[in-house]
Amino acid sequence: MTFSSSILLKTSMVVTVPTNPSEATFDQKNGELAWGCCYLRWRGKQLWVKSAREENLMLPALSNETWLRNCLQCSAVKKIYLDANLGKRAILIWAAIARSTKKEVWIRIPSTKQKNQPHFGVNRAFNWLLAVNLFFLMAPCLLLLIILLKVFTGNFGLTQQWCVNERGLLFQKATLSTGRKGLDFWLEKTGLANLPQFWNVIKGDMKLMGSCPNSLEEALT
């Protein structure tokens, strides 16, 4: 095997590893790269990132975002599955890079394993259609509210929080929040803070009805 400074994410297995081969091992039988605290494994267009449960060791990609971003940008990988044992910091790094390269990120924890949901496609279509109609109906109100927040508070009030839905998808939930307790309390009490979340429903990140997605912190506990 040839060692180089990058990983080619175009095949079903890792073909190169980071610069120091003495610190890396490759399991040809299982198609896994064990290096530091991570295992990387490819299954078609899916990349699995698993914790190796080792301390004081770290995959260079977790501290070199440019390196990982360039690899993923040129790869055929569509979905990235992260082991919850990687920890919040590592998950956020992978999530930010995956977002910039337009890859989906999923977290593998028991509470978010995908379940066989009957009529999932019908429910998804119903949620999408309802969210689209409500979004365009409430768009003038949302736009006016954003403008007013900008005028009176100096910012648009749009914030994003990493959340995990019931199927394990990691996404950024949009809300209206100004950082001012009184105003934020009023936005939450009136439900106006949740208006931007219609866009999340349209994208399929969450549903209009049913259980609310957990924050990343809640999902990892």
Among 96, 32, 29, 105, smallest CA distance to 68 is for: 96
Q: Tell me the C-alpha distance between 188 and 166, whole Å.
A: 23
| Beta carbons within 10 angstroms of residue 105's beta carbon | 23
Is pLDDT above 50 for 135? yes
User: Does residue 216 share a domain with residue 155?
Assistant: yes
> Do 30 and 47 meet the contact criterion of CB atoms below 8 Å apart?
no
Are 169 and 213 in the same domain? yes
**Terminal C-alpha separation, the chain:** 40
Q: Do 33 and 124 fall into the same domain?
A: no
* Six token digits for residue 80: 């990235």
* Percentage with pLDDT > 70 across the chain: 71
Q: Is the pLDDT of residue 211 over 50?
A: yes
Q: Tell me: do 67 and 101 sit in the same domain.
A: yes
Pair (205, 135) in one structural domain: yes
pLDDT at 197 over 70: yes
Q: Does 87 have pLDDT greater than 90?
A: no
CATH number at 76 reads: 3.30.750
Give the model's confidence band at 114: pLDDT under 50 very low, under 70 low, under 90 confident, else very high. Answer: low
Domain boundary among 108, 132, 161: 108
Per-residue pLDDT at 10 exceeds 50: no
What residue numbers bound the domain in which 188 lies?
120-220
Whether residues 104 and 129 share a domain: the answer is: no
Domain stops at, among 108, 136, 153: 108
pLDDT tens digits along 33-46: 444 456 778 777 89
Q: Could you read off the pLDDT of 157-194 as tens digits, one per residue?
A: 889 999 999 889 999 999 998 888 888 999 999 999 99
131 in the same domain as 75: no
Q: Which of 51, 80, 108 is the last residue of a domain?
A: 108
Query: Are 54 and 135 contained in the same domain?
Result: no
Whether residue 23 has pLDDT greater than 70: no
Segment 132-141 shows an average pLDDT of 92
In this structure, the answer to whether residues 90 and 165 fall within a common structural domain is no
Cα torsion 107, 171, 99, 64 to 10°: value is: -50
CB 13 within 8 A of CB 31: yes
Q: How many structural domains compose the chain?
A: 2
Q: How confident is the model at residue 115 (pLDDT cuts 50, 70, 90)?
A: low
On whether both 163 and 74 belong to a single domain, the answer is no
